[in-house]
């Protein structure tokens, strides 16, 4: 087992400290296995959400482009008596451009016509189901690191200098692991909030007629979900590598 070296070190420490080290190693092993088993699927889900986010960004770009072109056509129409055929030619160009591309009025319409809403909902829920157990392991790791650090003064007071060499070496690594875990948990908690917001917005937007503000919130949530899912996977991968190093050394 990868964690056996750590357990050998823990035998040189007081029982209460040794028990916490064993608990820490078990949570680390659990996180590593969960991530290794689910990384590929998580990246597939993130890629699907990213594809939708790219579609949303493209829709926004087209809407902005048409808004600008529409303003130009209105201006040319107003001066048509002075410009003769020029304004008509411009209007014809806009019509041709418009006929070549579908421009959705909002993200709700795009999701409906592409039948993407249900897919996004299922992907979001699946990501959360995969992700939550790993987040729980990180919470256990952080809590255990904090308990180990809290007990440090008590352990130092009771043990000899030779014992303390082992203790100080382990405590330094525990402290560093705690900091890295806290960072990963911040990313994880942010991810939970974004996905939950996305699922709530999807439900709300399709239950009633969406306002412009609600549609924009949904647009932002899709884009944020894509960005944060990739960030979370990368952060968890770094965490897995750190935990593996911790348990093997």
| pLDDT tens by residue, 116-160 | 788 888 999 999 999 999 999 999 999 999 998 887 766 666 665
Q: How far apart are CA 163 and CA 178, in angstroms?
A: 22
Q: How far apart are CA 90 and CA 69, in angstroms?
A: 9
Give the Cβ contact number of residue 114 at 10 Å. Answer: 12
| pLDDT score for 88 | 44
pTM above 0.95, yes or no: no
What residue spans define the domains of the chain?
4-39+108-248
Torsion of CA 140, 29, 246, 23, to 10 degrees: 50
| pLDDT score for 120 | 86
The low-confidence residues of the chain, meaning pLDDT below 70, are: 1-14, 63-109, 112-115, 153-164, 205-210
Q: How far is CA 96 from CA 72, 78, 89, 152, in A?
A: 15, 21, 11, 74
| pLDDT score for 186 | 96
């Amino acid at each position: 087992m990868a964690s056996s070296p750590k357990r050998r070190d823990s035998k040189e420490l007081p029982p209460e400290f040794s028990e916490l080290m064993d608990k820490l190693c078990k949570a680390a092993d659990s996180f590593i296995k969960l991530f290794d088993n689910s990384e590929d699927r998580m990246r597939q889900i993130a890629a699907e959400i990213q594809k939708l986010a790219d579609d949303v960004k493209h829709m926004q770009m087209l809407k902005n482009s048409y808004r600008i072109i529409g303003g130009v056509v209105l201006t040319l129409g107003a001066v048509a008596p002075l410009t003769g055929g020029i304004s008509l030619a411009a209007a014809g160009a806009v019509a041709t451009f418009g006929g070549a591309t579908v421009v959705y009025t909002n993200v709700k319409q795009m999701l409906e016509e592409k039948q993407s809403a249900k897919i996004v909902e299922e992907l979001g829920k699946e990501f959360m189901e995969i992700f939550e157990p790993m987040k729980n392991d990180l919470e256990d790791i952080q809590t255990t690191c904090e308990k180990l650090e809290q007990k440090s003064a008590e352990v130092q007071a009771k043990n000899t200098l030779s014992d303390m060499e082992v203790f100080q070496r382990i405590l330094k690594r525990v402290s560093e692991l705690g900091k890295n875990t806290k960072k990963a948990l911040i990313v994880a908690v942010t991810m939970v909030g974004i996905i939950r917001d996305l699922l709530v917005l999807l439900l709300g937007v399709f239950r009633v007629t969406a306002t412009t503000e609600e549609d924009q919130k949904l647009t932002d949530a899709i884009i944020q979900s894509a960005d944060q899912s990739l960030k979370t996977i990368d952060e968890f991968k770094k965490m897995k590598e750190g935990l593996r190093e911790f348990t093997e050394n």
